[in-house]
Every structure is written in structure tokens, then in C-alpha cells.
């Protein structure tokens, strides 16, 4: 049986070291590792200590670092679970500002920020599909940047419309040879959503590691759980992302308990691996 809440090993010590130091560029990987290794109940306090140990300039630097978006998301997720007595609202506000800065920042040659109608503009679209809710963030050309999904329903046997298959072809054509139009959030959860939910994805990655990930989400839902997902594509504002960063939590709706959480970063290339939770271990989680 998997450990729904990972044991605390060196995470507390690492987080304390991060919080007490003031490096010019914080270490995103060390932050993410500290949170992963800490016991679930300890994460809010550790996340608050880490955020309090950095000034706003350091948080902005973290946002721009490779893996920084994941680290900011992990900090915010930990603080979201903080008890009221911890009062994590100020820290979450600072994290939100840093994450907005990351959304505005050019990445690897991306367009410079603009105004609400300029090249740096983004749009957010929320759709309710059955019991599922998804919010997409797209750039001024309609290319997806991020998707946030609350999933509790799977639509089996739903055919894709001709418009959806055309959108998949158009998305694939933005990429390189061997790419497919890949869904950020699988069709089985959101039905036809067109280009806002599609990006050029390596075909092997799409049909192997990413499909295993989607199958795991579907199995969690079939076992009676809810899955809360964030998918982030980087670099932003380019036709083809190099990386796909995924964070998700599995929640038991009966008591609101988080029974499993995972964060993984894939390269948009063949040979990616994902070790999914076996379905047999989900029922009693």
C-alpha cells in the first residue's frame, strides 16, 4: 500500500535552512524537495517559514528559475491547507504576486509583456462540464499556458467532434515532426474544448506516460475520490512547450481528507516515464 502522506525525513531541516538563509537566487528544487519530504501536517508551517525567509525580490527570482513555478505552486498548496490559527493569508498573497510576475515574464524568447490587448495579454476561461470544472489560461494567440481542474466525473465512450479533431491537427502543426494535438486535461474529463485545451505534444509522450497519468486520475474518480489538478506549460507564449508540469491532489469527498498528492515534470519528448498508483490500492485509501 502506498503512503498517502509521505513521511518526514530531512524535509524539516532543509526547510529551516532555506528559511534562515537569504540567497540571491533561492533553490527551487530544494524548496520542492523539502515540502515533498515533510509530513502533510507539517507542510503549512514549513511553507510559511520558507516564504517568510525570502523578500519579494527573491520570490520573483524564484518564479523565473527553472522549476520555480512548481516550487511556488507547492508552497501555495501547502499554505492553502494551513489551519486558521496559522494565518497564512499574507504569505499566500506574496506568492500570488510572484506567480503573476512569472506569468508576465518572458521565457526563452517569449514576447514581452503588453497591455490587456497586447502580446503579453492572457485570458482565463472557466467551463463546467458535468461535475467537473476547469479554468484555462491562454496567451493572446490562444495558446494554452495553464489549466486548473476539479475533476469528479469521467465521460466514457464520448466521440470527438470533427471540430475537435481539426483543432488537434492544427495544434500538432504548430509543433515538430512526430507531435500530436495533446490535451492538457483529457477529453474524457472535459469533452470537446478546442484549441484552448491543446498543445503540440510528442506522440510517444502523449500515448504513454501522459496517458498513464490520465488513467490514474480516471481510476481515482471511479474509486469515489476527487482529483484537483494543475497543468503548467513552459516556456510560455511559444508554439511548442518544452516541459509539462503537473501537480494534483486526490481528495476523499466524504471528509475532505487528502489521500494522495503528486508533482511531476515531464519533458515534451519521447521516453518519458510515469509510475502510477495501482487501481487495487485506491479503494481503501
pLDDT of residue 266: 96
| Nearest Cα residue to 40 out of 93, 74, 78 | 78
Question: What percentage of the chain's residues is helix, strand, coil (to nearest 5)?
Answer: 40, 20, 35
> Within 10 A of 190 (CB to CB), how many other CB atoms are there?
23
pLDDT digits (tens, 9 = 90+) for 235-249: 888 899 999 999 999
Report whether 243 contacts 266 (CB < 8 A): yes
- Residue-wise pLDDT for 25-37, tens only, equals 678 888 988 888 8
Dump pLDDT digits (tens) for 189-234: 999 999 999 999 999 999 999 999 999 999 999 999 999 999 999 9
Please indicate, yes or no, whether the overall pTM of this predicted structure exceeds 0.85. no
Neighbours of 130 (CB within 10 A): 13
Using alpha carbons, select from 231, 247, 271, 244 the residue that is nearest to residue 80: 247
Query: Is the CB of residue 47 less than 8 Å from the CB of residue 91?
Result: yes
Alpha-carbon gap, residue 76 to 99, rounded angstroms: 10
pLDDT, residue 120, reads 63
Query: Who wins on pLDDT, 209 or 4?
Result: 209
Alpha carbons within 13 angstroms on the beta-carbon side of residue 123 total: 14
219 vs 1, residue with greater confidence: 219
pLDDT score of 141:
92
Each residue of 74-94: pLDDT tens digit? 898 889 878 888 888 889 888
Give the pLDDT score at 60.
84
> What is the average pLDDT value for the chain, to the nearest integer?
85
Report which of residues 147 and 9 the model is more confident about.
Answer: 147
∠ at Cα 19 (15, 22), nearest 5°?
Answer: 130
Residue 133, pLDDT > 90, answer yes
**Through-space distance between the first and last CA atoms of the chain, rounded to whole angstroms:** 9
Domains and CATH numbers, the chain: 1-105 (no CATH), 119-285 (3.40.570.10)
For residue 217, count CB atoms less than 10 angstroms from its CB and return exposed for 0-12, middle for 13-18, buried for 19 or more: buried
pLDDT at residue 18, rounded to an integer: 52
pLDDT for position 29: 85
Confidence of residue 130 (pLDDT cuts 50, 70, 90): very high
Q: Say which range, 42-46, 204-208, 212-216, 273-277, has the weakest mean pLDDT.
A: 42-46
Amino acid at each position: 500500500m502506498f503512503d498517502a502522506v509521505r513521511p518526514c525525513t530531512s524535509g524539516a531541516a532543509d526547510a529551516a535552512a532555506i528559511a534562515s538563509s537569504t540567497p540571491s537566487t533561492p533553490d527551487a528544487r530544494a524548496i520542492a524537495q523539502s515540502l515533498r519530504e515533510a509530513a502533510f501536517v507539517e507542510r503549512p508551517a514549513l511553507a510559511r517559514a520558507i516564504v517568510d525567509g525570502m523578500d519579494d525580490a527573491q520570490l520573483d527570482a524564484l518564479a523565473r528559475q527553472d522549476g520555480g513555478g512548481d516550487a511556488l505552486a507547492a508552497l501555495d498548496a501547502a499554505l492553502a491547507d494551513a489551519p486558521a490559527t496559522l494565518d497564512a493569508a499574507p504569505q499566500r498573497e506574496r506568492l500570488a504576486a510572484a506567480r503573476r510576475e512569472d506569468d508576465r515574464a518572458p521565457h526563452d524568447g517569449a514576447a514581452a509583456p503588453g497591455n490587456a490587448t497586447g502580446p503579453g495579454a492572457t485570458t482565463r476561461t472557466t467551463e463546467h462540464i458535468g461535475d467537473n470544472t476547469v479554468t484555462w489560461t491562454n496567451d493572446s494567440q490562444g495558446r494554452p499556458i495553464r489549466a486548473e481542474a476539479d475533476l469528479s466525473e469521467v465521460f466514457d465512450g464520448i466521440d470527438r467532434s470533427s471540430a475537435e479533431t481539426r483543432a488537434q491537427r492544427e495544434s500538432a502543426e504548430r509543433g515538430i515532426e512526430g507531435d500530436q494535438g495533446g490535451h492538457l486535461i483529457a477529453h474524457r474529463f472535459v469533452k470537446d474544448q478546442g484549441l484552448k485545451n491543446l498543445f503540440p505534444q510528442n506522440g510517444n509522450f502523449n500515448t504513454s506516460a501522459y496517458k498513464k497519468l490520465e488513467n490514474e486520475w480516471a481510476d481515482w474518480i471511479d474509486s469515489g475520490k476527487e482529483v484537483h489538478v494543475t497543468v503548467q506549460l513552459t516556456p510560455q507564449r511559444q508554439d511548442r512547450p518544452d516541459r509539462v508540469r503537473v501537480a494534483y491532489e486526490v481528495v476523499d469527498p466524504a471528509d475532505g481528507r487528502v489521500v494522495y498528492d503528486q508533482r511531476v515534470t515531464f519533458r515534451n519528448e519521447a521516453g518519458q516515464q510515469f509510475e502510477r498508483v495501482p487501481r487495487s490500492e485506491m479503494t481503501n485509501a
